């Protein structure tokens, strides 16, 4: 850096992502004149993320530069542009002008790509001004969120392009100021050549500024179309959901009609059963062998062992009814226990744990029992069963009163 008299802020510009363009005094020549240096850094979203540092010696007319961040094909393009502009190579700001011209061309490519993607999105959604084109199916619109991602991606790319265009416009305006106020050399011929080259570079920069202005308008209209497509996609999704809800409602109505028809059929079966059940029962009852319809007398129709039918039928009927009642109650009990368990588990989660600083006070009678039990265990520790029985039976009213008084006093102290 020092051997070429390059500006030291170049190292900072290489590692920063923000666009940067400034002028520096990088040293002095042999005759005492200062050398002019420039440091510039393009925006990282420009597609050409380069950093440039250059220094110009007005005495020798030599410009030294370091360029970082360009790919090999971009370096070849820069060298070809410099060779094509060999007549203006004596001007130190030729290289920054060429680099920013390449940035403008890359922005043109990105804007055209965003324009094409937005056209395809409009065709996919059907929200466009071309009425002769086939409208898409509502069920295929943004089924997996891909359409929304495409629109958002296009809008984001367009926003980055617009920001890069703004930074490029700022750099071009600074270039024009530096060209107009560049220190002239001592030699008259070189001074005239520098002025002529500066005018040519200004014309090129003004052409690039006009392109940047058009690119700004295109970026704005792409972002506006992206917002319109986002709204259209949400509207189409709402329409699709409405259609699906209508289909579900129609299916529910059809299911309701089918259920109603089944209910009518079951009612018909029930009515027919009610109508034919008495006759069926009577026919089956009269067809039992326990009845003798060929008897000579009416009193002899019922045979002596007819009671066996009732002995078997009545207990079986009662048994079936009892089993049914038990089954109903067990089922209801299981359902109630499962629902209560679920509610209790949900309530246990909502109850917060008490603070460790709060002391939980026991009731007075509980403290008395605990105190009496502990005193009883301490007084009879190590003694036999007989001594323990005697000691436990030897409690006097005075002893019990003293224990109660101590427990009450201790309870008051803990409460305070």
- Name the token pair of 158: 């367009």
Mark out the alpha helices in 126-145 (DSSP H runs). none
Long-range contacts of 399-405 (CB under 8 A, 24+ apart): 403/368, 403/371, 403/372, 403/375, 404/368
What are the helix (H) ranges across 181-306?
188-286
Alpha carbons 45 and 49: distance in angstroms, whole number: 7
Q: What residues contact 206, with CB distance under 8 A and at least 6 apart?
A: 176
Looking at residue 405, its pLDDT comes to 55
Give dist(CA 157, CA 149) in Å, integer. Answer: 12
Phi, psi values for residue 359, rounded to 5°: -95, 125
Instruction: Report the pLDDT value the prediction gives residue 293, as an integer from 0 to 100.
Output: 80
CB 49 within 8 A of CB 64: no
| Spatial CA neighbour of 40 closest among 54, 27, 61, 26 | 54
* Spans of the chain below 50 pLDDT: 352-361, 363-365, 368-369, 382-398, 400-401, 404, 412, 415-416
The per-residue pLDDT for 190 is 76
Task: Give, as one character, the DSSP assignment of residue 44.
Answer: G
CA distance 95 to 89: 8
Q: Residue 187: helix, strand or coil by DSSP? A: coil
37 and 6 Cβ atoms separated by less than 8 Å: yes
What pTM was estimated for this model as a whole?
0.56
Give the pLDDT of residue 404: 47
pLDDT at position 217: 93
């Amino acid at each position: 850096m020092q051997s070429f008299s390059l500006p030291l802020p170049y190292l900072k510009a290489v590692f920063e992502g923000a666009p940067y363009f400034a002028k520096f005094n990088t040293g002095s020549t042999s005759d005492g004149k200062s050398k002019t240096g420039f440091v510039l850094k393009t925006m990282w979203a420009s597609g050409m993320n380069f950093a440039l540092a250059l220094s110009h010696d007005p005495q020798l007319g030599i410009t030294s530069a370091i360029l970082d961040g360009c790919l090999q094909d971009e370096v070849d393009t820069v060298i070809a542009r410099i060779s094509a502009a060999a007549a203006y190579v004596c001007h130190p700001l030729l290289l920054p002008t060429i680099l920013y011209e390449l940035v403008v061309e890359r922005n043109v490519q990105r804007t055209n790509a965003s324009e094409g993607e937005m056209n395809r999105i409009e065709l996919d959604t059907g929200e466009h001004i071309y009425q002769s084109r086939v409208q898409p199916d509502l069920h295929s619109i943004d089924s997996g969120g891909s359409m929304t991602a495409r629109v958002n991606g296009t809008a984001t790319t367009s926003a980055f392009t617009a920001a890069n265009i703004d930074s490029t416009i700022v750099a071009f305006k600074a270039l024009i100021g530096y060209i107009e106020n560049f220190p002239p050399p001592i030699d008259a011929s070189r001074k005239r050549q520098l002025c002529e080259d500066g005018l040519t570079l200004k014309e090129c920069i003004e052409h690039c500024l006009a392109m940047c202005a058009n690119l700004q308008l295109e970026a704005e209209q792409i972002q506006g179309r992206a917002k319109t497509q986002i709204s259209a996609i949400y509207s189409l999704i709402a329409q699709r959901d409405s259609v699906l809800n209508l289909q579900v409602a129609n299916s529910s109505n059809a299911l309701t009609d089918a259920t109603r028809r089944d209910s009518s059929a079951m009612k018909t079966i029930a009515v027919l059963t009610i109508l034919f059940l008495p006759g069926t029962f009577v026919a089956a009852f009269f067809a039992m062998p326990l009845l003798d319809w060929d008897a000579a007398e009416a009193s002899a129709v019922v045979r002596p062992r007819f009671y066996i039918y009732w002995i078997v039928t009545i207990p079986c009927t009662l048994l079936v009814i009892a089993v049914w009642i038990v089954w109903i109650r067990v089922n209801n009990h299981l359902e109630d226990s499962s629902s209560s368990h679920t509610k209790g588990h949900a309530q246990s989660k909502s109850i917060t744990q008490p603070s460790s600083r709060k002391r939980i006070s026991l009731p007075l009678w509980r403290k008395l029992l605990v105190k009496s039990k502990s005193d009883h265990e301490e007084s009879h520790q190590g003694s036999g069963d007989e001594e323990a029985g005697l000691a436990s039976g030897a409690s006097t009213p005075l002893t019990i009163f003293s224990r109660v008084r101590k427990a009450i006093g201790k309870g008051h102290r803990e409460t305070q």
